[in-house]
Amino acid sequence: MSHNRNPGGHNQHQDVPKADDEDLVAALHKYHREGLTNKSFIAQRLAADHNIIMHSSTVKRRRKTLGLSGSKVTTNTMPHQEKVQRIVDEMDKDPTKGRGLNNIKQRLAFNQGVHLTRDFISQVMHTQDEDGFRLREPNSKQITRVKKNPTAINNRWAGDGHDKLYSIGFAIWAVVDDASAKWLGGWVLPTNRVGYVIAYVYLSLVEKCGGMPHQFSTDCGSETTQVFAFGNALRTIFHLDIDHHELPAHTYMRSIHNISIERSWLRLRLDFGNNAVEIFKKGMDDGIYNPNDKTQYDLCQWLWSNLLQQELDEFMEFRNGTKMRRDRTKAGPSSCSRNDVYSLPGEFGLKNDLLAIDPEVVRDIKKAMGGDDLLRFVPRELSEHFEALYSTLHVEKLTMEIVWVVFQRLLLLV
């Protein structure tokens, strides 16, 4: 009689990805950039985000194989001058000095994949720029906090426009999830004061998410009237069972009370908005850019809108992946990242209230509205011409540090 309980040789557990698995490598590097080092929590995120089932001890081995280490190990093993230079590199990207200790620490992880201890970063920052700490006096940036009691992600989204870049000719509109504070979408626009433009980006977000929230909140500006109409129409078509009187699909409120999005603007302005304005105006002051020249104006609009959208995308990815400070008085989650909450709502006592819709219906509406041409800063033909010229420069990555150099080279080609 055979005592082999598994004659077929089939293991009951699914195959665990090796350290060279492309999806696993990308996920582990992404979590590392978000500042995640807890092997148990990384295992949970792998399961929730990628359906990769892996024991925490295996996560530890895979991270070690990939050379991903925590702040203590890196601080103890990396050469001193290299550590200092990496910190200084991040500080140099912030000429207006709005980024504090936590921000620099998170950006080291996000931009360079390097974790260093707070004490070491603080020591370097104090040595290199003591004045920056005095300029970031927290009492000057206090925002009145209003209590909220979130129960589910995608239950309520908050949208609003940000006008601080209007001084250089660009506008921003963005949407934040109320419960997790996650940035769901952000757009650099020619204007955020036209109804069909705001409706279009809202529909783009609904299409991307595959659904809509139970409720969307904005201020009561004329630019939000079409969002109001589309939100009500979509919920009537796909979720007629929800009482509009008991729970309106769209609610208007004063900006100061639309706190989920309002609390987010300060960090955006400090992280890259102020720097963008300063660098843009320096280009004019130095005589590099003349806005009264039509060719220069069109080229600048195309180049800077692409740069600012790239910066906004990276800002949202960075903020969503960084750990929020612990706040015991806060009703919602804290001491975790926005991605953690949005990917694993059950771990934080939340559920997912996304209302499913048919994306094809949304795509048809967007096409009828005019498509992505609504968001362009210059006509399609001119944009394609600039894009072709830009490709000949072989720029590895457009950044604030080189944008005016790229502008000058493109202007010669134009």
pLDDT at 185 > cutoff 90: yes
Query: In the chain, what percentage of residues exceed pLDDT 70?
Result: 92
Per residue in 74-105, pLDDT (tens digit) is: 999 998 888 888 998 888 788 777 888 888 98
Enter the pTM of the model: 0.73
Q: Residue 324 has which token pair?
A: 């929020």
In whole angstroms, give the CA distance from residue 55 to residue 273: 42
| Whole-number pLDDT of residue 267 | 84
pLDDT at 137 > cutoff 80: no
Closest CA to 323 of 108, 102, 90: 102
Closest CA to 320 of 335, 333, 339, 336: 339
Q: Tell me how far apart the terminal alpha carbons of the chain are, to the nearest angstrom.
A: 85
Per residue in 160-180, pLDDT (tens digit) is: 999 889 899 999 999 999 999
In whole angstroms, give the CA distance from residue 366 to residue 372: 8
**Whole-number average pLDDT of the chain:** 89
**Which helix (H) or strand (E) segment is 186 a member of?**
strand 183-189
Which residue type occupies 214? H
Range with lowest mean pLDDT among 114-118, 257-261, 280-284: 257-261
Range with lowest mean pLDDT among 257-261, 363-367, 381-385: 257-261
pLDDT at 143 > cutoff 70: no
